[in-house]
Amino acid sequence: MTIKETDFGVRISDFGGINLGLTLDCGQAFRWRRLADGAFAGVVKGKAARIAEGGGDLIFLGCGKEEFSELWHPYFGFDTDYGRILSILSRNPFLAGCIEKYGVIRILRQEPFETLCSFIISACNNIPRIKGIIERMSKKYGEEIGGGLFAFPSAETLAGLSEDELLAVGTGFRAGYIIDAAKKAASGELDFGLIKSLPVEEAKKSLMTVRGVGEKVADCVLLFGLGFMNAYPVDRHIKRITAEVYPGGLPECVKNYEGIAQQYLFVEKAGFYKNRIS
């Protein structure tokens, strides 16, 4: 990977490629939007970001080298060799077709508490509405970071809210679940640093001590927030797809990278990519 500081921000090349639009808008992250000029804007760990594409390079606008290496390098998993992983997954013809079609969809390494809340909210919900709820939560209970943007609320803040205060932003029946997650995270009963170091099954069990967190939500947090590429979230779409495409079970080549395979299957078959924001 080459990193260059320019007048506009950090420009990176030779990083292994990315389908930026799909990576940021394939149902794993909920705070990115596409601007009129084609760049993407989002809020990550309390930092406002704009990312543009040019000639296969990515430009992190208004960002310095230090911020890039501390925040964006891990967020996009630039230390992960997607070329190698995708060539392994391509041993399966169906996945090879998806990878050919969509390019490199990266699994983001998001802030764990925000990821946990986001996927608690995702239960029995649709993606546009999940985004709306998270935006309203941030606007009402998150810290303002300038430009009319707001950080995702802290666990401490959410832990102090009443269910009615969360109902007011449209969380519905998940309000109590979010408060339980916030209390456990704020008290340290849920220690993401520790969970990250556990074997996947134990990590999953500890996430499932939170009300409103079952197998699927736990797997999403493991995959999209804690770096477990072997977590395989099975939602109603993936259940159908897996039965349809792999009635005999997942192919051997998927082992250890179930989560990445899952995201290609989701994009290909859940139909979401057809509806995503242009």
Partner DNA sequence: GTCCAGGCATGCA
Partner DNA sequence: TGCATGCATGGA
Report, as residue numbers or ranges, the catalytic residues. Answer: 216
- Tell me if 253 contacts DNA by CB under 7 A: no
Question: How many residues at the interface with DNA, by CB under 7 A?
Answer: 36
Q: Which position among 43, 254, 263, 268 is part of the footprint of DNA (CB under 7 A)?
A: 263
Region of 34-42, 90-98, 198-206, 261-269 interacting with DNA (CB under 7 A): 261-269
To DNA, the closest distance from the beta carbon of 267 in angstroms equals 8
Q: One symbol per residue from 7 to 26: x for binding DNA (CB under 7 A), - otherwise; what is it? A: -------------------x
To DNA, the closest distance from the beta carbon of 157 in angstroms equals 20
Q: One symbol per residue from 200 to 239: x for binding DNA (CB under 7 A), - otherwise; what is it? A: --------x--xxxxxxxx-x------------xxxxxx-
Q: Which position among 8, 94, 246, 272 is part of the footprint of DNA (CB under 7 A)?
A: 272
Residue 96 or 167: which CB sits closer to DNA? 167
245's tokens = 């495409």
Q: Which position among 36, 93, 124, 148 is part of the footprint of DNA (CB under 7 A)?
A: 124
The string of DSSP letters for the chain reads -EEEE-SSEEEEESS----HHHHHSSSS--S-EE-TTS-EEEEETTEEEEEEEETTEEEEET--HHHIIIIIHHHHTTTS-HHHHHHHHTTSHHHHHHHHHH---PPP---HHHHHHHHHHTTT--HHHHHHHHHHHHHHHSPEEETTEEPPPPHHHHHT--HHHHHTTT-GGGHHHHHHHHHHHHHTSS-HHHHHHS-HHHHHHHHTTSTT--HHHHHHHHHHHS--TT-----HHHHHHHHHH-TT-S-GGGTT-HHHHHHHHHHHHSSHHHHS--
To DNA, the closest distance from the beta carbon of 59 in angstroms equals 26
Residue 9 or 138: which CB sits closer to DNA? 138
Region of 33-41, 166-174, 185-193, 242-250 interacting with DNA (CB under 7 A): 166-174
CB 62 within 8 A of CB 47: no
To DNA, the closest distance from the beta carbon of 220 in angstroms equals 7
Which amino acid, 47? K
List residues near DNA by CB under 7 A: 26-28, 122-129, 167, 170, 172-173, 208, 211-218, 220, 233-238, 262-263, 266, 270, 272
